[in-house]
Amino acid sequence: MSVSSLFNELRQTDQVFSFMQPQGATNLNIDKGVILYLEDISVSFDGFKAINNLNLYIREGELRCIIGPNGAGKTTMMDIITGKTRPDSGSAWFGQNINLLEMDEPAISKAGIGRKFQKPTVFEQLSVWHNLELCMAAPKTVFTTLKARLNGEQRDQINKVLTLIGLQDQRFLNAGALSHGQKQWLEIGMLLMQKPRLLLVDEPVAGMTHQEMDRTGELLTSLAGEHSIVLVEHDMDFVRSIARHVTVLHQGSVLAEGTMDQVQSNPKVVEVYLGE
């Protein structure tokens, strides 16, 4: 989808966006609405085009589900957003004036983009509380880490996140003793401690029980609004339970977008999934 076609679509729903990016500009003027802007992104690996003229626009506070067959470019897209992979061409902006293609991974994380990988990575020998404390948004030097003492506001923040992720009763339990689903929630909590504006979440319900999946859906839905969330997931039942807007990737570009019902009834999407 081009910028002009996106503008026309949104204008019909009384949502007005303004995209202005003169040649060589260092500021993207977005009047309201869009927090992540990917335009004409392409990247190749040894002649294979993993991303092919990808256009993606994520609104402030939106929960967007990204689906697609294996090899569709979902992971590469996240790698580009977080600075792990540099595209061959295109534009990538965060907020109104942050050019992601001019930043490295630590700077992008500091700017407010957090990423959760499929396999949970927590400090298993530390308590749930200390996992959250270590990830708190604050200067991280050897001296400050050793001498740090939590103030009341910081303790309130940890307690708030514990409540959000449903681990209040496990706060003093070592993270290694948690179930798989609880470790996933803890890692989401660790990201929240960094106060990100945008969360990239990769297949969070893989290996979960049905109860854990339901709780994860409730958690992600509760975070939308205060945070923008880009969720990559293969479990279609889970996506259907939480998705309002779905983007289907295929061969590195957007194949279809819309509600779950709309994309599931799209003949191109049906063909891609049946042929997988």
| Domains by residue range for the chain, with CATH | 3-274 (3.40.50.300)
- Average per-residue pLDDT in the chain? 86
* Tokens standing for residue 150: 């939590």
Q: What's this model's pTM, rounded to 2 decimal places?
A: 0.83
Give the list of residues 6+ apart from residue 67 with CB closer than 8 angstroms, or none.
232, 233, 234, 236, 239, 246, 247, 248, 249, 263
Which residue has 């026309």 as its token pair? 8
Q: pLDDT for 83-131, tens place per residue?
A: 999 999 999 999 888 999 999 999 999 999 999 988 888 999 999 999 9
Q: pLDDT for 209-220, tens place per residue?
A: 999 999 999 999
